[in-house]
Amino acid sequence: MQSEIITVGSELLSGETVDLHSSYLSRELHSLGIDVCLHTSVGDDASRLHEVLSVAHTRSELILLAGGLGPTMDDLTKEIVSEVTGAELVQDPKAVHHLKQYFKGRMEAIPANNFKQTYVFSGGFVFYNKNGTAPGLAVQVDGITYILLPGPPRELVPMFEEQVRPFLIREVISDKKQVILAKSLSFFGIGESLLEEKIKDLIQQHENPLMATYAKEIGVVVRMTAWAKSEAEANRLIDDLKRNVLDRIGEYCYSEKDESLEEVVVSELLNKGKTVSVIESCTGGLLAHLLTSIPGSSQAFYGGLVTYTNKAKENIASVPASCLREHGAVSSATAEIMTENTMKLFDTDFAVGITGVAGPAEAEEKKVGTVYIGLAESGKPVRVYQFQLKGSRRRIQLMAAKYACFLLQQCLKKGETTR
């Protein structure tokens, strides 16, 4: 099957916005065995979008469009698709209800132009948008499938993963005689290039299951997709490949799903009935934020401290002034005391402490990216791990918080960390 991707928006052509949708959607389609032949970006211009679509439908069986579904006058994607295909647009009562619920309590009256978003293709498919107002749409005309997605990434990505991907498997690429199954492995602490190098031969050898790697902001996902006559056979194909992957790089795998480290940590704490507290310096509360962003975390996360200065470390975390003078705030000794005292203060099963240099300048003669992470577990000595992280200040902070999650997750899973 041949496909192409069209991204819509004048901001893409002016350089104000970088087109990340095409690369994301291409990876997703590739993981389903769908070839992408062309990427096109077009501005908010009805005649040019009409021209692009008129050519696209002569060469592709699947056309994905991203953007141009909003309430403004220049959001014309579905109107132009309707013109090109002849598919009628009708108002959808469920979309109207969703729009009203979205605006409920925000303003007295919904601006009239928003109801433009409630029109869908007659006889088509609707992907309701839990993160915004514009639903995604799909329509099949003359053997060609058109899929229309909202432009904002926080709307497009979850909509694709939760609704569009299953739709493609069910309605587009399945021949009704085969089962298509996809599974993921999530990795941390190894870059995409090194990970790919370690399993390159497996990627090249396999067409079924098809395997691909995807770099996230922090971490890498390996997705495996299998085609078979039964779900049991598809599972067997994937499981055989998964074992080979884990034999080589299993120490970096934290989940057999596409999920975040903080999701896994909170889930394992809840499953084991354990509790955690945190103390942070260079990450400024980011670790606490990650953990508490997960629903249900209040049952496992007891609290946290941000001791950003030496005075705070002395007065709140009870780090002796002599330790700070002798070893410095960014040191194994300070991380150990911070972490141990936090576990005692909150009376938790675990505590995690972070201290380091996020940049932009060195501190205490320590290089930017030097980070110490303490891990305390009730009844056991505190363990401290040193890392030399790279990147911007924000990336170093995020990496430090994620490494803290990874260390705790490994401890919960195996009883001790593997690194």
Put simply, whether the predicted model's pTM sits higher than 0.85 gets the answer no
User: Distance between CA 338 and CA 316 in Å, rounded?
Assistant: 9
Q: Which residue is listed with tokens 């996020």?
A: 358
With a cut of 90, say whether residue 175 has pLDDT above it. no
What residues make up the domain containing 282?
A: 261-414
Please report whether residue 239 resides in a domain: yes
Please report whether residue 127 resides in a domain: yes
CATH code of the domain containing 57? 3.40.980.10
Q: How many CA atoms lie within 13 A of 168 on its CB side?
A: 26
Under a CB-based contact definition with an 8 Å cutoff, are residues 377 and 408 in contact?
Answer: no
pLDDT for the residue numbered 419: 40
Q: Are residues 147 and 7 in the same domain?
A: yes
The DSSP symbol for 134 reads P
Among 144, 173, 202, give the residue marking a domain's end. Answer: 173
Phi-psi map region of 243: left, alpha, beta (phi>0 left; psi -120 to 50 alpha): alpha
Query: What confidence tens digit (pLDDT) does each residue in 364-396 have?
Result: 999 999 999 999 999 999 999 999 999 999 999
Question: Which range has the worst mean pLDDT, 10-14, 293-297, 395-399, 404-408?
Answer: 10-14
Helix (H, G, I), strand (E, B) or coil at 109: coil
Exposure of 230 by Cβ count < 10 A (0-12 exposed, 13-18 middle, 19+ buried)? exposed
Under a CB-based contact definition with an 8 Å cutoff, are residues 129 and 159 in contact?
Answer: yes
Q: How confident is the model at residue 216 (pLDDT cuts 50, 70, 90)?
A: confident
With a cut of 80, say whether residue 417 has pLDDT above it. no
Please report whether residue 126 resides in a domain: yes
pLDDT for the residue numbered 177: 61
Residues 340-349, mean pLDDT to the nearest whole number:
98
Please report whether residue 203 resides in a domain: yes
Q: Are residues 96 and 220 in the same domain?
A: no
Q: Which among 64, 51, 50 has a CA at the least distance from the CA of 6?
A: 64
Mean pLDDT, the chain, whole residue set? 93
Q: Are residues 311 and 190 in the same domain?
A: no
User: Distance between CA 334 and CA 322 in Å, rounded?
Assistant: 10
User: Distance between CA 362 and CA 236 in Å, rounded?
Assistant: 52
Q: Are residues 283 and 246 in the same domain?
A: no
Among 127, 149, 173, give the residue marking a domain's end. Answer: 173
User: Distance between CA 377 and CA 41 in Å, rounded?
Assistant: 53
The DSSP symbol for 237 reads H
Q: Are residues 270 and 219 in the same domain?
A: no
Query: What confidence tens digit (pLDDT) does each residue in 104-143 have?
Result: 878 778 889 999 999 999 999 999 999 999 999 999 999 9
Please report whether residue 419 resides in a domain: no
Query: What confidence tens digit (pLDDT) does each residue in 231-243 have?
Result: 999 999 999 999 9
The DSSP symbol for 335 reads H
Q: Are residues 188 and 167 in the same domain?
A: no
Q: Are residues 22 and 145 in the same domain?
A: yes
Q: Which among 129, 66, 65 has a CA at the least distance from the CA of 95?
A: 129
Q: Are residues 14 and 159 in the same domain?
A: yes
Question: Which range has the worst mean pLDDT, 64-68, 214-218, 340-344?
Answer: 214-218
User: Distance between CA 372 and CA 404 in Å, rounded?
Assistant: 10
At residue 157, φ and ψ (nearest 5 deg) are -65, -55
Under a CB-based contact definition with an 8 Å cutoff, are residues 240 and 202 in contact?
Answer: no
Q: Are residues 125 and 246 in the same domain?
A: no
User: Distance between CA 25 and CA 4 in Å, rounded?
Assistant: 10
Q: How confident is the model at residue 173 (pLDDT cuts 50, 70, 90)?
A: confident
State the DSSP string of 178-218.
Answer: SEEEEEEEEE-SS-HHHHHHHTHHHHHH-SSSEEEEEE-SS
User: Distance between CA 355 and CA 362 in Å, rounded?
Assistant: 14
Per the structure, the count of domains in the chain is 3
Please report whether residue 26 resides in a domain: yes
Residues 6+ apart with CB under 8 A from 104: none
Q: Which among 183, 185, 162, 163 has a CA at the least distance from the CA of 234?
A: 183
At residue 210, φ and ψ (nearest 5 deg) are -85, 135
Under a CB-based contact definition with an 8 Å cutoff, are residues 66 and 146 in contact?
Answer: no
Q: Are residues 265 and 395 in the same domain?
A: yes
Residues 6+ apart with CB under 8 A from 408: 265, 276, 350, 352, 375
Q: Would strands 2-8 and 35-42 be described as parallel, antiparallel, or unpaired? A: parallel
Among 128, 144, 173, give the residue marking a domain's end. Answer: 173
Structure token digits, residue 157: 């990505």
Q: How confident is the model at residue 415 (pLDDT cuts 50, 70, 90)?
A: low
Q: Are residues 210 and 332 in the same domain?
A: no
With a cut of 90, say whether residue 33 has pLDDT above it. no
Query: What confidence tens digit (pLDDT) does each residue in 139-163 have?
Result: 999 999 999 999 999 999 999 999 9
Query: What confidence tens digit (pLDDT) does each residue in 259-317 have?
Result: 999 999 999 999 999 999 999 999 999 999 999 999 999 999 999 999 999 999 999 99
Q: Are residues 17 and 130 in the same domain?
A: yes
Structure token digits, residue 246: 């884990």
CATH code of the domain containing 250? 3.30.70.2860
pLDDT for the residue numbered 343: 98
Please report whether residue 198 resides in a domain: yes
Please report whether residue 15 resides in a domain: yes
